Amino acid sequence: MLPSTHRQEAHHRHRALAVFALMVVRVLCLPGYSQNKNVFHKKFAAIEKYCGKSVEFVIIDPPIELKPSDVAGAAPAFDSIANFDEPELTPRAWWLSNETRTVYFRAEESIKYIWDILAAQSVPFDGVLGFSQGAAMAAMTVALLERPHHFDYLSTDGKPPHPPLRFGIYVSGFKPIDSKVTSIFNDDKLKTPSVQILGRNDVIVGIKRSQTLIDACEHPRVMWHDGGHFIPAKLSWRQFFKNYFLSWDPSSKVLPEDVPSPVVSATDTLSQLGTPTATRPNTPPPQASSGLLDSRPD
């Protein structure tokens, strides 16, 4: 029989291994403009199912409920599933904006909403994933935790409500430009590791606009899919998401930066024109330098 001290050491090692075995990577998910958590879930379900029980996705509603008058002229950016007549599909947003998208309304309300959600967590989030306007809000969430001094009106002690996030995933994202909120990006580039996923055929948030968020982050990993304004969910992308999330598990032997990018192939995805694409690594489109025109999204 092992001496008492050795048995205790073995017990503690066993408990430590059990903790690692039960580790769940927690990801906060922020829907895009005109989506709510139910709409987002419908579009994200394939990825969520593929990741299994080792990843917990916490999808939250944006706090602002949209009215039909709020989305006049924004048809290209309005989610096709959202429906004003069905409560569970009611369109929502993180902020409203003027016609030129330079002035935001109620954005501070959403920052306070996120602050309170973060503060309420007994188990912290590992990362955040956002789509479109939700990606911009996700980047603000990362900035909020890196730079809580910008939000002294929310905290009396100057401390963040939650530990800094370990990663951010921004799909069809952009940097907010309203002066009331964009100052949080002025200190320096965001240090939190980020993956930025863009669609080669996205005409809602074009390349030029997404570049603003890329430039706001330190050493971002930029990835492309052949579709438009959506979160890619083909098999190769589901594999990437799962492997990337699990790479943040403390027991993982793979570093997040070493997780392979999806390989776009003719059997995995088609271009919007319906022509099969040749097999190739995840590379930017030739029009990346000039950018695309933006429609009016968020």
Q: How far is CA 248 from the centre of its chain?
A: 15
Q: What is the DSSP letter of 78?
A: S
Select the more confidently predicted residue: 151 or 197.
197
CATH of 25-83+91-289, one of 3.40.50.1820, 1.10.1470.10, 3.90.1150.10, 3.40.50.2300: 3.40.50.1820
Is residue 288 scored above 70 in pLDDT?
Answer: no
Q: Which of 15-29, 80-94, 283-297 has the highest mean pLDDT?
A: 80-94
Own/partner long-range contacts of 209-213 (Cβ < 8 Å, ≥24 apart): 209/174, 209/291, 209/294, 210/172, 210/173, 210/174, 211/291, 212/174, 212/175, 212/177, 213/135, 213/136, 213/139, 213/170, 213/173, 213/174, 213/175
The model's pTM is 0.82
Is residue 4 scored above 60 in pLDDT?
Answer: no
Q: What is the DSSP letter of 211?
A: H
Question: What Å distances lie between residue 32 and 29, 82, 169, 230, 288, CA to CA?
Answer: 10, 11, 13, 10, 23
- In the numeric block, which tokens belong to residue 146? 């890196």
Residue in the block written with tokens 């309420």: 120
